[in-house]
Structure 1
């Protein structure tokens, strides 16, 4: 087998897996059969394409090949005879995979996205099912990416599929009155996948898949602004990936080497954000992307428009009522209006108890106190943050900041 054929199959797997599985689920109503048939089709492509050449439309070839295999499996199963009659009354199985069209695929894929991210499923199951069914990651790859045991991940996937069957979760795009809520759930899952990958250099596959799926969603829902907002946010964050760590140590935004930021990703992110904002339906992902764009387009840290960022965080806080957003606003306000103004917001959050146990609350307070020259108070807050921090990378960063403070008298 030539390297070109193997590369073509690998490319098709990345780009077409979700489409093929979505169509097969719509065709058979059976998730496991759909995945098994898709796997068989990709395996067959390795030998058939080596013999006959790569088809003009690999996605259509794979879809029809997988559909034929699913039909054969049902035909071999005696108890599937009734199901086979139902299928025969529906979409026909074509004999010419290379020439078959794929016009029905996008709708099926959109149905699959909303089914995987249905609110009735627990959030971890939504994430795992999205990565398995739409991205084609194996159970082992999902477990490794999410830092979970493979058996746990496998059970989570099985339970999610069973719940879809038993609870009769509809395989469809929700009706218009439910779309905002359901779309928010889909966007939250994709952003969670992105953040899981963004946290470590060895998990970049997750950010790649999250961006790819966000592109798919934005393409399939062109009239919706927030999928574009999320895609822009991901691209702008991803543009800084190469500068976030140095020798395993966290590098904060103000100290990152901006010459190494990915200008192409920044340009694309800003363009997509502009498209979303032109729809005049502002949402939280658009606002977060606008904040990221302020940082990404500033020539250096000193040129950052902190007043605009503080205003965007204020708008975001009104939309979300999130104490984490308020904490971020505190930093922007401190940079725009002075440290005391930012500390006042941080102290109000501490008094409210809304962020109790959240390490970034004392870490933020410590950083603002350090900038204000109040090292003794900063020391106490850094020590409190170190007791709460979950990440080793962040722990090393906070410990270094603590050591950099003036010695105690």
Structure 2
């Protein structure tokens, strides 16, 4: 039986070898895909002793064949090295180089995510298209444009780890759609990155993903509706993932090179470690949001900080922090509704929940906010 997980894990390293030998990214990726098709056909009957070496040899032959078949690329054929003798694949992992290439600054975030899933994750175009709910042809065009953009790009200086982490975080935040669990895929790719590079922010992102993912089973009700953190059944949280995430975070923080993902993970750890909302250490969460604000100065961080201030110092303190933010900021109205409800101003809260529902970014959030408005209006009428 063919081990698809093994194939996916080997794909980025094989692709990186071809590119380092002189193939441009697009041609190398096509050759690797052809080699994977050949593996699917032949491995069940005749599995190789060195799977990666086999894939490199076959993919390189496919690339040379394609190069020779294209008259317009004869000149380039003279520049590529001749086929190496078959033998064990080098033990070095070139896949790290691909992380940086797929997060090339000339790519849009959407293209960088798609290319990362294809080249580093080893996913098919169909899988990626289904995950993003777009036609396969549309995703194929996006990936092709991205490959053309990075073809010929050379990383002659250290890549930007922060850009790679942002791309992986984008993948994680897409969550789940269809047969592909993008959150789990992002964790898998970040684990591989953490194994290849010693960087506290990589560890911070991995910890953050694990801590958020640990609460996944409790985030929605059986009917698909959202369950706020305060109402989640904490018995359904994945305690093993929480323990792993906290352990990874503590090791990263001990290096005293704080970054935004470590700070976010610290906040998530405090939520995960609390037996209930009431027993959460909100004062410490506010302190971590202060650190995160210093690192990023993000309006979204300031919005979340206002929620934490409302829990630590009371709803009026939270509303005072909220007053400093732009009224057009997404989710600001929903936060204001929550804080006014906590302060006992139910008419204002009901009105703001209804307004926030109209501005919601997705159906699940809109339905949740609509239910909150209806709940308060029922209380007011009673």
Question: TM-score, with normalisation over the residues of structure 1?
Answer: 0.86
Q: Equivalent residue for 1:33?
A: 27
Q: Equivalent residue for 1:297?
A: 273
Contact conserved, 1:145 with 1:203, CA < 8 A, in 2? Answer: yes
> What is the CA–CA distance in structure 1 between the aligned matches of 2:257 and 2:344, rounded to whole Å?
43
Contact conserved, 1:357 with 1:388, CA < 8 A, in 2? Answer: no
Contact conserved, 1:193 with 1:207, CA < 8 A, in 2? Answer: yes
CA distance 1:251–1:308, shift in 2 (3 Å) = same
Q: Equivalent residue for 1:327?
A: 303
> What is the CA–CA distance in structure 2 between the aligned matches of 1:151 and 1:46, rounded to whole Å?
23
Q: Equivalent residue for 1:19?
A: 13
Superposition deviation, residue 78 in structure 1: 4.3
Q: Equivalent residue for 2:215?
A: 240
Residue correspondence of structure 1 range 101-180 to structure 2 within 5 A: 101-104=89-92, 106-107=93-94, 109-165=95-151, 170-172=153-155, 174-175=157-158, 179=159
Superposition deviation, residue 265 in structure 1: 1.1
Instruction: Report Cα offsets for 1:351-408 as digits up to 9, x if no partner.
Output: xx2x5151x1010110111122110110121121011002111111111111111225
CA distance 1:102–1:184, shift in 2 (3 Å) = same
Superposition deviation, residue 147 in structure 1: 3.1
Q: Equivalent residue for 1:344?
A: 320
Superposition deviation, residue 237 in structure 1: 0.6
> What is the CA–CA distance in structure 1 between the aligned matches of 2:246 and 2:97, rounded to whole Å?
29
Superposition deviation, residue 56 in structure 1: 4.1
Q: Equivalent residue for 2:165?
A: 187
Instruction: Report Cα offsets for 1:48-104 as digits up to 9, x if no partner.
Output: 33333x334423332232223222333444454443443326xx52324xxx12324
Query: How many residues matched?
Result: 379
1:88 equivalent to 2:76? Answer no
CA distance 1:101–1:158, shift in 2 (3 Å) = closer
Q: Equivalent residue for 1:283?
A: 259
Q: Equivalent residue for 2:59?
A: 66
CA distance 1:257–1:60, shift in 2 (3 Å) = farther
Superposition deviation, residue 282 in structure 1: 0.2
Superposition deviation, residue 33 in structure 1: 2.3
> What is the CA–CA distance in structure 2 between the aligned matches of 1:19 and 1:208, rounded to whole Å?
21
> What is the CA–CA distance in structure 1 between the aligned matches of 2:317 and 2:37, rounded to whole Å?
62
In structure 2, the gaps of 5 or more residues are: none
Contact conserved, 1:218 with 1:228, CA < 8 A, in 2? Answer: yes
Between 362-371 and 13-22, report the one with greater CA deviation.
13-22
Superposition deviation, residue 274 in structure 1: 1.6
Among candidates 364, 368, 389, match of residue 335 of structure 2: 364
More helix per residue: 1 or 2? Answer: 1
Among candidates 199, 209, 230, match of residue 205 of structure 2: 230
> What is the CA–CA distance in structure 1 between the aligned matches of 2:100 and 2:143, rounded to whole Å?
16
Superposition deviation, residue 336 in structure 1: 1.0
In structure 1, the gaps of 5 or more residues are: none
> What is the CA–CA distance in structure 2 between the aligned matches of 1:356 and 1:74, rounded to whole Å?
54
Among candidates 336, 348, 367, match of residue 396 of structure 1: 367
| Aligned Cα root-mean-square deviation (Å) | 2.1
1:314 equivalent to 2:258? Answer no
> What is the CA–CA distance in structure 2 between the aligned matches of 1:11 and 1:191, rounded to whole Å?
22
Contact conserved, 1:28 with 1:87, CA < 8 A, in 2? Answer: yes
1:266 equivalent to 2:252? Answer no
